[in-house]
Amino acid sequence: MDFQVSERMQAALALIRTFVDRELVPLETAFLTQPFRSLLPELAKKRAKVKQMGLWAPGHPQELGGLGLDLVDLGLVSEALGRTPLGHFVFGCHAPDAGNVEILHLHGTPEQKRRWLAPLVAGEIRSCFSMTEVEMPGSNPVMMETTAVKDGSDYVINGQKWYTTAADGAAFAVVMAITDPEAPPHRRASMVIVPCDTPGFDLVRNINVMGHAGDDYFSHGEILYHSCRVPQENLLGPEGAGFAIAQERLGPGRIHHCMRWLGVCRRAFELMCARAAARRISPTETLADKDIVRAWVAESYAEIEAARLLTLHTAWRIDREGWRAARQDISMIKFVVAGTMQRVVDRALQVHGGLGMTDDTLLAFFFRHERAARIYDGPDEVQKLSLAKRILAERRA
For the domain spanning 7-101, the CATH number is 1.10.540.10
CATH number of the domain at 127-236, out of 3.30.750.24, 3.40.50.720, 2.40.110.10, 1.10.3720.10?
Answer: 2.40.110.10
User: Which segments within the chain are labelled E, that is strand?
Assistant: 127-130, 147-151, 154-165, 172-178, 189-195, 201-206, 214-215, 218-231, 235-236
pLDDT for the residue numbered 323: 84
First to last CA, the chain: 27
Question: What mean pLDDT do residues 82-94 have?
Answer: 98
- 367, 360 in Cβ contact below 8 A? no
- 320, 329 in Cβ contact below 8 A? no
pLDDT band at 89 (very low <50, low <70, confident <90, very high): very high
- 301, 340 in Cβ contact below 8 A? no
For the domain spanning 243-396, the CATH number is 1.20.140.10
* Residues of each domain in the chain carrying CATH 1.20.140.10: 243-396
pLDDT band at 247 (very low <50, low <70, confident <90, very high): confident
* Residues of each domain in the chain carrying CATH 1.10.540.10: 7-101
| Distances in whole angstroms, Cα of residue 88 to Cα of each of 77, 112, 172 | 9, 24, 20
For 190-203, the pLDDT digits (tens) are: 999 999 999 999 99
Q: What is the pTM of this model?
A: 0.94
For 158-186, the pLDDT digits (tens) are: 999 999 999 999 999 999 999 999 999 99
Please count the other Cβ atoms lying within 10 Å of the Cβ belonging to residue 11.
10
Comparing C-alpha atoms, which of 387, 386, 348, 390 is closest to residue 365?
348
d(C-alpha 325, C-alpha 314), whole Å: 10
| Distances in whole angstroms, Cα of residue 389 to Cα of each of 75, 247, 331, 348, 362 | 28, 19, 11, 35, 38
Using the predicted structure, report yes or no on whether residue 1 has a pLDDT greater than 60: no
